[in-house]
Structure 1
Amino acid sequence: MAEVAGEVVPWRRRMLTAAAMVLAAALVAVATLLLLKLNDANADEDSRQSALQVARQVAVDLTTVSKDTAQQDVTRLMGVATGSFKDQFAQQADVFRKVVQQASVTSKGTVAEAGVSSVDGDTVTVLAAVSATVQNADAPNGEQRQYRMKMQLHHEGDRWLVSDLEFVP
Structure 2
Amino acid sequence: MAEVVREIRPWRQRILPAVAVVLAVALVAVATLLLLKLDDANTEEADRQSALQVARQVAVDLTTVSKDTAQGDVDRLMAVATGSFKDQFAQQADVFRKVVQQASVTSKGTVAEAGVSGVDGDTVTVLAAVSATVQNSDAPSGEQRQYRMKMQLQHDGDRWLVSDLEFVP
Name the TM tier (shorter chain). Answer: over 0.9
1:95 aligns with 2:88: no
| Other-structure match for 1:24 | 24
CA offset digits 1:1-40 (Å, max 9, x no partner): 3233123112112211111111111111111111110000
| Other-structure match for 1:106 | 106
Q: Distance in 2 between matches of 1:38 and 1:163?
A: 29
1:67 aligns with 2:67: yes
1:87: Cα distance to partner? 0.3
How many pairs were matched up? 169
| Other-structure match for 1:82 | 82
Whichever residue aligns with residue 125 of structure 2, its letter is: T
| Other-structure match for 1:158 | 158
Other structure's SS at 1:140 match: coil
Q: Tell me whether 23-32 or 126-135 shows the greater mean CA deviation.
A: 23-32
Q: Distance in 2 between matches of 1:14 and 1:142?
A: 86
CA offset digits 1:90-143 (Å, max 9, x no partner): 000000000000000000000000000000001000000000000111111111
Q: Distance in 1 between matches of 2:132 and 2:13?
A: 76
Structure 1 length-normalised TM: 0.98
Q: Distance in 2 between matches of 1:7 and 1:100?
A: 95
Q: Distance in 1 between matches of 2:66 and 2:165?
A: 21
Structure 2 length-normalised TM: 0.98
Other structure's SS at 2:141 match: coil
| Other-structure match for 2:8 | 8
Q: Distance in 1 between matches of 2:14 and 2:116?
A: 55
CA offset digits 1:21-64 (Å, max 9, x no partner): 11111111111111110000000000000000000000000000
Alignment RMSD (CA, Å): 0.8
Whichever residue aligns with residue 39 of structure 1, its letter is: D
Other structure's SS at 2:72 match: helix
| Other-structure match for 1:53 | 53
Identity %: 86
